[in-house]
Amino acid sequence: MADDESLLKFFAEERQFFDVLEHYLDQIDDRPGANLKEPLPEIFSNNPFGYLTLLLDRYQEQPYLLDPHLERMVQPIILRLRQWLEYLQQHSAEFEEPPTDSTETLSIEQLSQKLEKLSHLLYFVVKVRGYKTIVRFFPHQVQDLSIVISTFGLVLPKLDSAPSKIVETFSDALLWHFRYILLLWLSLICMIPFDLSRFDKLSTLQAQKISTYQYVEKVGWSYLSLPGKEREAAALVLARLMLREDVFRSHLLAFVEKCLDNLRVAGEHDLFLATGIAQVLCILVELARPPQLLGVLPLLHQALLETSKLPYISASINLRKLRAKLAGRVALVIPVSPQGSSDNEDEQVPESIEIIVQDLLDCLQDKDTVVRWSGAKYLAKIGRRLPEAFSIQICDAILELFSLKTVEEQKGGIDLLSVNDYTWQGACLACAEFLRQKCFPVSRLESLIEWVVRALHFEQRKGVQSIGSGVRDAAAFVLWSFGRAFSSAEVEPFANQIAIQLVLQSLFDREVHVRRAGSAAFQENVGRLGIFPHGIDVLQRADFFTVGLRRSSFLKAAPEVARFEEYREAILNHLLEVCVCHWDGGVRELASQSICQIARDAFNQIPTVLLDRLESGLKSKDINQVHGSLLTLGELAKVVQSDKTENATIKLLEKIFQLVTGVLHSNLKPRQLEVLLEAICQALANTLPDCPRLCENFIKSPAWMQLVDIGLKRSDDNLHCSLQSVLHQVSLRGVGVQQIQFFSKALTSGLVVARQASARCLGGFVFSSGALQVSFQSTFDLLIACTEEKELYRISRFNCGELWGPIPYLWVTLISSPPPNHIIAAPNNDLSITYGWKVCTQEQFSKLLTVFVNGLFNYTNDQRGDVGSWVRASSLKSLDQIIYLYTKSLESIEARKNNHNIHIDGRSPLELDIHDRALEPSEAHENTHKIHHDRIIPLKLEQRFLISHIFSGVLRQSLDSIDSVRQLAWQTMAKILVYLSSSKFLQIDKDILVLLQSAFDRRNSEHWRELKWTFPNSVDLLTQLIKRHLQCAFPSNEFIEFSISLSESLLQGIIILIGGKGNNDAKKAAASFVEHIGKIGESNPSISVEVVRRILKLTSTRPSGSRNFGLCCWETISLLLETDALKPLEQHGDGRKLLQSILHMVTRNLNQPKVSVNRVLTGSKMLRSFMALESSHQRLTSSLNFF
């Protein structure tokens, strides 16, 4: 079912639809159509039929919204269809022998196209709303029969003559829509109560010497063996024909006998004919009154028998479904003795019904759902009209299906491994249908609930997937029907059990449709019975839409529902017994988080029973249960981190750490350990002891080394991040020097996967202790070296962006880490200002910024596509972090100078020690009174580098062709501008800042992913920068430099986007750019001249990341010339000079021996465009010789 936001309320496109419909019908009639009141979307500009069908398809799930408009929708189409059918009959002779002068007459091909277009559109209306509703709006006058019969006389092949041109044309398989609509029309006309013999004098019938009835029957049989939709309409024609008052008495018996004979003849070779005959009989029995069929009941039983003998019935779902429907409908027609008319109740039920009931019970075990559901529906309908005793027998037989192939366990449960899920779903559907028919016996209610509760959690593992969602959905359907079948008093003894099971299903089932089914069943029973505990309150927390998302169901709805004691224990038990050991890792992860939220909200402290059950789970032989238990322990440790000062919390963390390390030291195979690796790391990161000695002993243990060894061999970035989090906690405790050396060695000499993992792990270390500070310089230089272009290109095939991620994290952790313990312990806190550790030099800071700026121009491609986008995205995020921390550090330094306070907002300074070495603790203590705050030297970030490199790079990425990168660039620029506007230490040119702030306004953030919004605004920013540059009376050198740098970066992004062979979005961007330049050229030609002059200047450059940038510039200029966007420049002196410069550029290098073919082709297009410019004719004549 659709979400609430996607539900339609009414036919919103009514005006546009009928406007386009009228326009389309006028096109078919070759009449000049009126102009549309609203233009069609560009993609449908020449395809009104596609637009109409798109609108109709929107209402496929809510077709009733079209009901008020159906007559207005259908009648214009069907009337035009009738009009062209009359035209076909009037000119049929001309179509067979076209006259010499046929200018006023359509060809048969043209006419068939018109009829197909009308029929195709009408078919879409039928498809959305259904033929039973639409056919009522077809013309159904007596004279319409002659039109339809005459048309079939022209298009239906004749056995005794060669096919005519009309027959050949309309026998085309592509014209099946026309035949289908014509047969539907005929089926409607057959219902009109008039004498068919009135039309026996039609020329079509007299030529074949048959009656109207015989001809209509012939038409139906002609299409009954086809595989398409025509067969369904033909079956409807035959069934309605046979049920006419003037036909069924004399022809029905013969017709059924003919069906039976054809069914036997179909035998082994004609599946479609057998299916068509089954459809005819099904419709016939459905539409007929029971007295009309009494004479043919034996034949219908024989037809059922013959159908079951067909060799291909086991392979045909449709045929088995039709047989089930026919059997059920025949059983409903068979007369049953009224209750009390016989002493023996068995004599009231004919044997033929018992045979059919057994067939339908077999259908419940069919392998296809549609067959099972058909059997379930008709069993319930049959049970409703039979005596109560026989109905109870049917219910007992259905309940016995649950016990097939079940094995009783020693503990009293039932093993369902051998059970067939088809059988269980069929039994559930049958029970639900009996409940809907209100004929399920109350005496069997307890047994039903026992089996349905098991079905609610039915799941069987098959290879890498599971089956059983259909059974669980059907079980929810059974419980949904309870409110309609039983009273509150009858269900109340089972209310708590049903409520708990439905809550568990609606919250924790893996499949969304099953969760929603459980929620709907809960809601139905709350509304009708009102006996579920806290029913309304539970519905408010776990409504139909909340449970639609698995994450919100586990993490939002489940903790809220668990606040009620009636459900809490069952929810925790289900999570621990089912979800934590589920085969799907995503379910296990969500279950662990859900348990922790429930435990945190419901208990003052984590219950020991919960830990005991998780500990037993770690000892299980099921690796999924071990993994789920580890995840839960890790989440529990994370939850209690905030209360780490309490003794109970410390003991809990120690207990979890022992359990996790116990798993590491157990005799697990490496393959098993790989599955658990990420969960183990997450748990360790939250439970490592604070004692450095214990941490060092742990990371030296063989178990930890085995874990690291496996992690370095796997290319899973999530695993690498988990390792990184453990190492981060280790380094916070002042240990890990050997680990740094180990990963540094792996980064330089290991395999590619190991190098990626090592880079990630090195980024997790915090160099806050004296022992680790020694390794900072070498680690930093090593990571920087790994980002060099050649080195990066060699490993980019595996993961281009992997090496960028750790560097900002490494730097961030440096400046945000607490100082070493021996400095904190000094008598005067001011010591840490100067005699802290040497965190980052100006040279390192500059290298770091250069790495990320270079990363903005990485466009590495391999077989996976633009993998350089990972690097660009990582660089954008890193620049955002660094500038934020840089501005905060300047504020911290200033605050410490004024307040003599070491920590501001929990952050440490970015600073330089003027000495060449960090002082020892004793020296620091001796020189306490010699500290002066004016000796702090903050790191420098020059305005020129910030604007010309960082801003320029981010602006170029704001025009990236990848939506996610482009959105991230806009977010990054907006954040940086916020940092600068709130900082008094890092200032940039005011005019530049104002322009950028107006463009990157955070109020428009919802549009930053859309190229159709970001591109015009980027072009507008380019125009504003150039306009401010040209109009400024006394521009400073810095403003000129910055303005040119930013505008050229924007132009580079625009040229790369539209100058090459881009996608559809790039083409739209190109059209927008051309239109903008054309408008600017008319209103302010100086800006247009400056834009093109800068593009011309860029043709001789080759910025990073673009191999054919010069050609892209040529393509952009060529596009502007072709669309006459530069034509207004011809009226101005500067513009004419610029056009001459472009012409000179095109012909300058053509006489050289090595010239790019693409440049020659682009240049020729540009010269062709110059022919439209009068000012270039003289120069153009001499330039043509180069080509």
Q: What's the rounded Cα separation, in Å, for the pair 762 and 765?
A: 6
Residue range 1027-1048, pLDDT digits in tens: 887 777 666 777 778 888 888 8
- CA atoms 556, 560, 565, 567: torsion sign: negative
Q: Give pLDDT, residue 930.
A: 40
- Mean pLDDT estimate for the chain: 83
Is residue 732 assigned to a domain? no
The reported pLDDT for the residue numbered 1149 is 64
Q: What is the mean pLDDT of residues 1070-1088?
A: 85
Mean pLDDT to the nearest integer, 760-783? 82
Does residue 621 sit within a domain? no
Per-residue model confidence (pLDDT) at position 338: 65
* pLDDT of amino acid 843: 85
Same domain flag for 1121 and 1153? yes
The residues facing 407 across adjacent strands are 415
Question: Which positions ≥6 away from 549 have C-beta within 8 Å?
Answer: 512
Please tell me the total count of domains within the chain.
4
Q: Find where tokens 């439970």 sit.
A: 687
| Share above pLDDT 90 across residues of the chain, in percent, rounded to a whole number | 36
Site of tokens 């408009």 = 69
Specify whether 232 is located in the same domain as 265: no
Residues 6+ apart with CB under 8 A from 73: 17, 18, 21, 66, 125
Rounded CA-CA distance 275/293 in Å is: 21
**Interatomic CA distance for residues 933 and 920, integer angstroms:** 19
Q: Are both 1054 and 1171 inside the same structural domain? A: yes
**CA separation for the pair 562, 601 (Å, rounded):** 9
Q: Is the same domain home to 1049 and 1176?
A: yes
Residue 565 lies in a domain: no
- Name the band, by pLDDT with cuts 50, 70 and 90, for residue 1152: low
pLDDT of residue 159: 66
Q: Which segment of 112-116, 296-300, 968-972, 1172-1176 scores lowest on mean pLDDT?
A: 1172-1176
Quick: pLDDT tens for 456-513. 999 988 877 889 999 999 999 999 999 889 999 999 999 999 999 999 999 999 999 9
Residue-level pLDDT at 813 = 41
Whole-number pLDDT of residue 913: 36
* 499 in a structural domain: no
Q: Look at residue 289 and tell me if it is in a domain.
A: yes
- How far apart CA 457 and CA 504 sit, in angstroms, is 9
Average pLDDT of span 1126-1149: 79
Q: Are residues 215 and 283 in the same domain?
A: no
612, 618 Cβ separation under 8 angstroms: no
Q: Is-contact 208 215, C-beta < 8 A?
A: yes
Say if residue 28 is in the same domain as residue 164. Answer: yes
Q: Judge whether 1169 lies within some domain.
A: yes
Average pLDDT over residues 373-377: 96
pLDDT at position 191 is 87
The more confident residue out of 795 and 1157 is 1157
Whether 878 is in a domain gets the answer: no
Which amino acid does the sequence have at 442?
V
354 plus 381 within the same structural domain: yes
Domain, as residue range, for 111 = 4-95+105-246
Mark whether 82 and 200 lie in a shared domain: yes
Sequence-ordered list of residues with C-beta below 8 angstroms from that of 887, at least 6 positions apart, any chain: 979, 980, 982, 983, 985, 986
Please check whether residues 293 and 356 belong to one and the same domain.
no
Q: How many CB atoms lie within 10 A of CB 203?
A: 11
The pLDDT, as a whole number, for residue 429 is 97
Q: What percentage of the chain carries pLDDT values higher than 70?
A: 86
Considering only residues 176 and 1063, tell me which one the structure prediction assigns the higher pLDDT.
Answer: 176
Same domain, 238 and 264: no
Banded pLDDT at 1062 (limits 50, 70, 90) = low
Please, which pLDDT band fits residue 1146 given cuts at 50, 70 and 90? confident
Same domain assignment for residues 206 and 314: no
- Quick check: pTM over 0.95? no
What band does 353 get if pLDDT is binned at 50, 70 and 90?
A: very high
Q: CA 738, CA 731: separation in Å to the nearest integer?
A: 11
Q: 1046 and 1113 share a domain?
A: yes
For residue 608, the model assigns a pLDDT of: 82
The single-letter DSSP state of residue 418 is T
User: How far is the CA of 387 from the CAs of 126, 334, 347, 391, 412, in angstroms?
Assistant: 41, 14, 11, 6, 36
Q: Which of 246, 266, 292 is the last residue of a domain?
A: 246
Q: What is the pLDDT of residues 38-84, one digit of tens each?
A: 888 878 888 999 999 999 999 998 899 999 999 999 999 999 999 99
Higher pLDDT, 818 or 320: 320
In this predicted structure, the answer to whether residue 805 has a pLDDT above a threshold of 70 is no
User: Quick one: how far is CA 823 from the chain centroid?
Assistant: 54
Domain assignment present for 996: yes
Q: Output the pLDDT for position 811.
A: 47
Q: Kindly provide the b/e burial profile for residues 263-293, where b requires at least 16 CB atoms within 10 angstroms of the residue's own CB.
A: beebeeebbbbbbbbbbbbbbbbeebeeebb
Q: What pLDDT does 1159 receive?
A: 76
CB atoms inside a 10 Å sphere around CB 876: 24
Confidence of residue 140 (pLDDT cuts 50, 70, 90): confident
Query: Is residue 861 classed as helix, strand or coil in its secondary structure?
Result: strand
**Res. 301: pLDDT tops 70:** yes
Helix intervals (H) in 294-420: 297-309, 317-333, 351-363, 369-385, 388-402
pLDDT tens per residue, range 254-265:
999 999 999 988
Query: What pLDDT, on a 0 to 100 scale, did the predictor assign at position 297?
Result: 93
Average pLDDT over residues 125-133: 94
Helices (H), 839-981: 842-855, 868-899, 921-926, 943-945, 952-957, 963-981
The domain boundary residue, chosen from 445, 462, 495: 445
Q: Please say if the pLDDT value at position 161 is more than 90.
A: no
State how far the alpha carbon of 934 is from the alpha carbons of 842, 894, 920, 986, in Å: 18, 10, 21, 19
Pick from 213, 228, 246: which residue ends a domain?
246
* pLDDT at residue 1151 in the model: 63
- pLDDT number for residue 1104: 64
Please indicate whether residue 802 or residue 56 has the higher confidence score (pLDDT).
56
